[in-house]
Amino acid sequence: MNTDHWESWQRDYLRGLILILPPDEVSGPIDALRQRYDPRSAASCGAHISLSDPLNVEMSEARAEEVCRILRRIEPFTLRYGKPRASPLRAGVSCPVTPQEPVDALKAALHTASLYASEPYGRRDIPAHMTIAEFISIERSLELGAQLHGNGPSGTFLCDRLTHVVPDVDFCFQSVRTFFLGRGPDPA
């Protein structure tokens, strides 16, 4: 795959990463906002909760089985996503996701896999969230956050699976494999 036209930061994602993808009834309204307020980001990936660092090695069948073994020990849990908000400290608008503890435990367990051997764990301290817009200014973020906070989506969903996504040549992430938490089905 020719990635010469990618920005330098995009090359880190060549082998993909593992995300929480919310169900359609959650992602639909969030994706509509992403399309409207940050079409660049929306074009690359739908609504998601970033979980893993970018993979530094290919996802082989043996590595996928290792991830399955790790995730079978973690039971599904319910996540709540709140109304969109912005911060005066950094650009972007997102829906906060709680509780943080099971997400952190999932991150920590996932990063014990050989996919991440000897690599720093860069996403450890990033609070769980679903981004609405990221490629906008702080000023626009604050305006948009105030606009959406009162009438933006919020709710809950069951986190019972993770998805390995990999970018195509146009840096649009495609689902490659689904991993189930607990005693769910084998990877799809």
Residue 120: CB atoms within 10 A of its CB come to 9
Domain membership of residue 186 (yes or no) is no
Q: Say what the pLDDT of residue 118 is.
A: 61
Looking at residue 4, what is its pLDDT? Answer: 83
Is 1 a domain residue?
Answer: no
Asked if residue 84 belongs to a domain, the reply is: yes
Q: Do the Cβ atoms of 81 and 96 come closer than 8 Å?
A: yes
Total domains in the chain come to 1
Dump pLDDT digits (tens) for 75-125: 999 999 999 999 888 899 999 999 999 999 999 899 889 888 766 655 567
Residue 186 pLDDT greater than 80, yes or no: no
**Which domain CATH number covers 160?**
3.90.1140.10
Nearest to 131 by CA among 22, 57, 25: 22
Least confident window among 20-29, 122-131, 158-167: 122-131
Q: Within 10 A of 12 (CB to CB), how many other CB atoms are there?
A: 14
What integer is the mean pLDDT of 62-81?
96
In a domain, 69, yes or no: yes
Q: Is position 21 within any domain? A: yes
Output the pLDDT for position 74.
95
74 occurs within a structural domain: yes
Nearest-angstrom CA–CA distance, 60 and 152: 39
> Quick one: pLDDT at residue 187?
53
Question: What domain range includes position 40?
Answer: 8-180
Q: Tell me the average pLDDT of the chain.
A: 90
- How many Å apart are CA 39 and CA 37, to the nearest integer? 6
Q: Which residues contact 89 (CB under 8 A, 6 or more apart)?
A: 138
Above pLDDT 70, what percent of the chain? 94
